[in-house]
Amino acid sequence: MPGFDLINEYSLENIPFLFIIDFNRNNIIVIPLEELNSNEILFDVNGYSNCQPALHKPAEIKFEKHPPSFDKYLNGFNKVQHHIRAGNTYLLNLTFRSPVLTNLTLDEIFLHSSAKFRLLYKDKFVVFSPETFIIIKGNSIFTYPMKGTIDAGIPNAEQIILADKKEHAEHATIVDLLRNDLSIVAKNVTVNRFRYIDKVVTPGKNLLQVSSEIAGTLRNEYRGRFGDILSLLLPAGSVTGAPKKKTVEIIRETENYDRGFFTGVFGIYDGSKLESGVMIRFIENDNGNLYFKSGGGITSFSDPRKEYDELVDKIYLPVV
C-alpha cells in the first residue's frame, strides 16, 4: 500500500516522521516532522513532543459519560459468546462508542491530559493512550501487549488481577499471539517480562493494567523497512483477539460501527528510533458530538457485568 511504502522510504532514508494508521489500515497518514503543522496536529510520544506543556489547568472540569445500556452491551456480548462456542474465536476485544459531554475542547483535553502516548488530530479526535505497540531501536524490536484492567482502589487489587484465572488466560493468549506476530519479522523472539503492572491515573478512580514485554532481533530483510513491519503486524493483537483474521471479521459483524482510527496505531521515527502506541482511550468529534470508544477482551470465562463495568471504567479524562 502507498502509505506503508512511504514509511519504508522515510525510514530507509532516516527522515524523521509521524505516522497515524487506522484500525482497518485503509487510512495511513505519514508526515515528515519538519513539515508537521502544529496548529493542526499535536503529539507526545513518551516525552518526545511538538508542543509545550500547558501552564494553567481550567478551574473547573466537567465530564459526563453516557455508556450504552447493559442490555445493549449484553446483546453484543452474547453474539461473541456464540462465536466462541462455535470455535470461531477464543478471545475477542469487543468495543462500543459512548456519547460524552465536557466543557473542554479536544485541544484542552490533549494539553491537560497525562499519558504515555498523546495525539490530537485536527479537530477530529484526541488520544491519551497508556499502551505501547512497537519500539524499534537498531536491530531490536519490542512490543508491549496490555490486557487486564482493575480498579486500583480495590483492596489487594494487584494480587487479585494477577491471580485471576480468566485474566491470566486472556493475557497469555495475547502474549502468544504477539510473540507469533513478532516472529514474522524477527528472530530470537522472547518474552522478557510477563504480566507486570502499570498504574493509570484518572480523576474518578485509578486503574491497574497488566502488560508484558516481548522482544526480538529483526530479520535482515526487514531492517529499516518499517512500513513492511507495520503492515505485517497490524491490526494490533491486543485490540483484536485470536485467531486474528477470523476475529476481526467477527468484530466488524458484531460492533455495528466503524472503529476508524480508534484501536489503530500512531508513532514517530526520530531518525534513530521508532516508537508507537495503540490508539485506545479515544475521543472522537462526530459533527460536533463527542464519543468515547472503549471496550475489553471477551473469553468463554467472561462475566458480562464485569466486562461491562470495565468498559465504563475506561471512559475518563486523564486530567488530574
Is residue 183 a part of any domain in this protein? no
DSSP code string of 227-241: HHHHHHHPSPGGGSE
Model pLDDT, residue 320: 62
Helix H or strand E encompassing 71: helix 70-85
Residue 171 lies in a domain: no
Q: Which three cell numbers stand for residue 102?
A: 465536557
Give the range of the structural domain holding residue 278, as residue numbers without chain letter.
2-137+225-313
Whether omega for the bond prior to residue 304 falls within 30 degrees of 0, making it cis, is: no
Domain total in the chain:
1
Domain-embedded: residue 185: no
- 6, part of any domain: yes
Contact between 71 and 81 (Cβ < 8 Å): no
Residue 285 lies inside a defined structural domain of this protein: yes
Residues 6+ apart with CB under 8 A from 274: 11, 134, 135, 136, 226, 267, 268
CATH of the domain at 269: 3.60.120.10
Report the DSSP beta bridge partners of residue 274: 136, 269
Per-residue pLDDT of the chain (320 residues; tens, 9 = 90+): 789 999 999 999 999 999 999 999 999 999 999 999 988 999 999 999 999 877 677 778 899 999 999 999 999 999 999 999 999 999 999 999 999 999 999 999 999 988 999 999 999 999 999 999 999 999 999 999 888 878 888 888 888 988 888 888 888 989 999 999 999 999 999 999 999 988 877 666 788 888 999 999 999 999 999 999 999 999 999 999 999 999 999 999 999 899 999 999 999 999 999 999 999 999 999 999 999 999 999 999 999 999 999 999 999 998 76
The predicted pLDDT at position 62 comes to 92
203 inside domain: no
Domain presence at residue 250: yes
Residue 202 lies in a domain: no
